A and B are shown apart, each in its own frame.
Chain A
Amino acid sequence: MANLVDVRALMFPWMQDEESQPRLRASLGPRLLCLYRWHHDRAVAEIEKKIIEAFEVFDHECHKTVDVREVGSIVRSLGCFPTEAELHELLAKVEEEEPTGYIHLEKFLPVMTKVLLDRRYRPIPEDVLLHAFEALDENKCGYITKEELVKYLTEEGEPFTQEEMEDMLSTALDPETNTVRYRDYISMMIVDES
């Protein structure tokens, strides 16, 4: 993936979208184009393999289908951080005309490949996450009370379900003070990830 981006950035810095390809063809030699294509194809092939792998983990019956409710997990485990709204957008593209509750690999693959190629739904960097918590911490005291957090996360944004809220609290909440010390929580979760 890195290879692809480097090549594109180096060689065609002015190119932002696929429509400029014809311009490209006219202005640069066929050799460079070949190189670009080759890198691109290899990167795409690798991305596709990753997507298929992730898909198959959730495809119990090896039917090349997954339950529509698992798509979120698949997309996220491929390194993307979509919001629920973005996820619904994606689902609209991969669902059948008559939603059957199942998503087929053949529809999912091209859409997801593009998502990864375009580097959509980028991860949230640690500092941005920290800012988000700080924004909820009105008094800037380094922690958020349980009640406040619950209110924000179950009422604002794309609300958590009760189960999600309880789950998060189970690791985030400091039971002695009934607060979430968000700096510590973030550091702990980031470590867990790696």
Chain B
Amino acid sequence: AFKAAILIQQWYRRYVARLEMRRRCTWRIFQSIEYACEQDQIKLHNFFSYLIEHFTPSSSKERDFISRMFISGESFKEAELEKYCDYESMEVPDSYTGPRLSFPLLPDHATALLEAFKQKQQLHARYVLNLLHETRKHLKQLPNISHVSTCYSEEVTVCGDLHGQLDDLFLIFYKNGLPSPSKSYVFNGDFVDRGKQSLEILIVLFTFLLIYPKEVHLNRGNHEDHMVNLRYGFTKEVMQKYKVHGKKILKMIQNVFCWLPLATLIDQKVLIIHGGISDTTDLDMLEKIHRNKFISVLRGKKRKESNRNVEIQEINGESKVEADPAGNEAAPSLSSQPQPAQAPSMANRLEFSKWVRQTVQEQIEWCRRLADISESEEEELTSSSVVSLTDLDGPRWTRQEEWKQILDILWSDPMPQEGCIVNTVRGGGCYFGPDVTGKILEKYNLQFLIRSHECKPEGYEFCHNRKVLTIFSASNYYEIGSNRGAYVKLGPDLVPHFVQYQANKMAHTLTMTQRQGFLVALISRVEESAFRALREKLFAHTSALISAFKAYDKDNTGRITLSNWATAVESVLHLGLPWRMLRPQLVRSTADGMLEYKSWLDDLAMEQRSQEHIQSSLLEVIYRNRSNLETIFRIIDRDHSGLISFEEFHQTWKLFSSHMNIELTDDGINDLVRSIDFNKDGNIDFNEFLEAFRLVKQSQ
């Protein structure tokens, strides 16, 4: 019996260990895909910005396109904003049964809203816009860094990412109580995207912000950014819920996000930021910059600091310039724009590139000027403001430096090693080590940092010797059962107390005896999800994978070893996943340790065909400008042949890489081109181009 018992125990423990391994692998898959996506999007955005900057417009239509593509994210001048997002003329029909807001808001309005959202009601667009206007007015008065003191409200509750998961917010309020004069809250960014109720979360948070302005504090997160929202679902959510007024709402929200404070300080001892810090983080700078200039933190990378004085004079001289370049409706009057000379014939490439460079310079200047005007939202082009611009006291920083401060705050992640390196996984911000943390804490006499930005299985996690706390409030973020959410409470002693939760009725009512059965089922389901996502990614890189496999199959047998398969896959996808562990789930049949890779890829393709997925992360950004498809097409089709060749795509790409000093794989762009080229004739004609967008549109 002893032997028998041992055997059973032995076997059983192995089973449990395997489960644990599966759980962790699944987690890693989700995480790596999530970050890879973010990185893709930033890369592509940079690519298009660069493309636009260096494109020489040959017609007024294209000039309009440039200004709109680059500047459409900019803030309106105050008056234009009010006019465009006017709500007062909006009628609310009597049939509307949802909450009706009146300003100034009262606690009753908040409870009414919470009730309404629990009943899945929708707030009328008029009230949404009204709320957004009032929120913006309020936020404008706030400093970049909010200050909270525990001597007024004994305890402060800090919540992390919510990502549109309204149920989690309800849970937090249920467990912890609503905001009130005796209950302070700090919400540390990333309220929107991914979850399906991002707008409701914003409405609730803004409402409480206006009712209890001293007790409720919001920090900006990297997802409080319309460029990111385009990709991660918030834009779509708003447009779906508000078909008529969605655009206005989004425009207002853009102008609210840029006014969100960047950080919060508790008792001058605990710094709360969304992402993290870098070795150049400077709180003094952060306090002083004009945070609203950065509507999207994804922009502004390429701008070099120009000679401000020169520009100012030029602005002065062009008093006739229509100061509304951001107009979606009206095309800006671009009479000041330098006309490009006739392009020299294509025969002489050298001449051409010289001419390009010249005109490009002029275009850049022009773009920049335009953008600067639109951004100085409050400043009217009068001589007095010009004087104030030149009459500067205190330290001045380049726009580049200011931008980097904000980028680091919103996008960085901590790492265990010392130092500070570029965060290549996300494509923005840094990885900062314990030494960086130590320096910042010492410099500003702080006790520790609280940040969010990364999902953690238990909802919170310490690192850097308990000097950095990550708090994440969206439970079941990747899948049901993937992780808990948490919030942290700080009293005057600044000792953190955590409360964890999981917003899923099933997980909640589980008894001990059911735990493992549930766990197994859960892991299987989450795993399924993860592997589906992974197979999609593999499929999206089909052509790159084939080349990689062929490199290991010099004799062209059609087969490679499983070991080489793993190495090849990692070299293409760069996800850092344990491929050998995952192989059994990804590769169904092998013959004596070898894989027939073509049929494997065909199987993958068959799976994907039903979903008509084409590199959606890349194309969606293009799709954003679908109204200008023709122009985009022509931007890429340099020789104006009516066809985009692989060559042209490559050239543009190479130009980009060399100028931007950014690593871009040939494979990524190859994949994109090949997937668009339906008839596989080596070129993309305009029809194929359109077809690609039609499919993207279908999948939305």
Contacts and interface: CB of A to CB of B under 8 A. Distances in A.
Contacts of A80: 14
B578 A54 contact: yes
A153 interface: yes
A131 to B, nearest CB: 8
Contacts of B11: 81, 124, 129
Nearest to A194: B584
B5 interface: yes
Contacts of A157: 2-9
Interface residues of A, number: 52
Contacts of A62: 415-417
Interface of B is mostly: helix
B525 to A, nearest CB: 13
A50 B512 CA distance: 34
B5 A153 contact: yes
Given A129-B11, A135-B4, A153-B5, 20 more contacts: A54-B21, A57-B21, A61-B463, A63-B416, A73-B21, A76-B14, A77-B581, A81-B11, A84-B9, A128-B7, A132-B3, A133-B8, A153-B8, A159-B9, A160-B12, A164-B12, A164-B16, A167-B516, A168-B516, A170-B514
Interface of A: 2-3, 45-46, 49-50, 53-54, 56-58, 61-63, 72-77, 80-84, 123-124, 128-129, 131-133, 135-136, 152-153, 156-160, 164, 166-171, 173, 189, 192-193
Question: Size class of B's contact patch?
Answer: 35 or more
B416 A166 contact: no
Given A50-B580, A136-B1, A157-B2, A77 B8 contact: no
Interface of B: 1-18, 20-21, 24-25, 28, 415-417, 463, 512-517, 520, 563, 566, 578-581, 592-593
Given A170-B514, A170-B515, A124 B10 contact: yes
B18 A77 contact: yes
Contacts of B463: 61
Most chain-A Cβ atoms within 10 A of its Cβ — which of B5, B6, B17, B579? B5
B566 A49 contact: yes
A167 B149 CA distance: 46
A170 B10 CA distance: 18
A72 B13 CA distance: 9
B416 A61 contact: yes
Q: Lowest 6 A-B CB distances belong to which pairs? A: A157-B5, A76-B17, A53-B578, A77-B21, A157-B6, A156-B5
Nearest to A136: B4
20 contacts: A46-B563, A49-B566, A53-B579, A54-B578, A58-B24, A76-B14, A76-B17, A77-B21, A81-B10, A124-B7, A153-B8, A156-B6, A158-B10, A160-B9, A160-B12, A166-B516, A169-B513, A170-B515, A170-B517, A192-B520
A132 B6 CA distance: 9
Contacts of B514: 170
A2 to B, nearest CB: 6
Contacts of B580: 49-50, 53
Contact of A83 (B6, B516, B579): B6
A2 B593 contact: yes
Contact of B4 (A2, A49, A133, A168): A133
A169 B580 CA distance: 32
A129 B513 contact: no
A160 B9 CA distance: 7
Nearest to A131: B4
A46 B593 CA distance: 12
Contacts of B416: 61-63
Contacts of A132: 3-5, 7-8
A2 B693 CA distance: 49
A82 B10 contact: yes
Contacts of A193: 15, 18
B698 to A, nearest CB: 37
Given A53-B581, A76-B14, A168-B12, A152 B516 contact: no
Nearest to A189: B15
A156 B10 contact: no
Contacts of B513: 166, 169-170, 173
Contacts of A123: 14
Given A83-B10, A136-B5, A153-B9, A166 B515 contact: yes
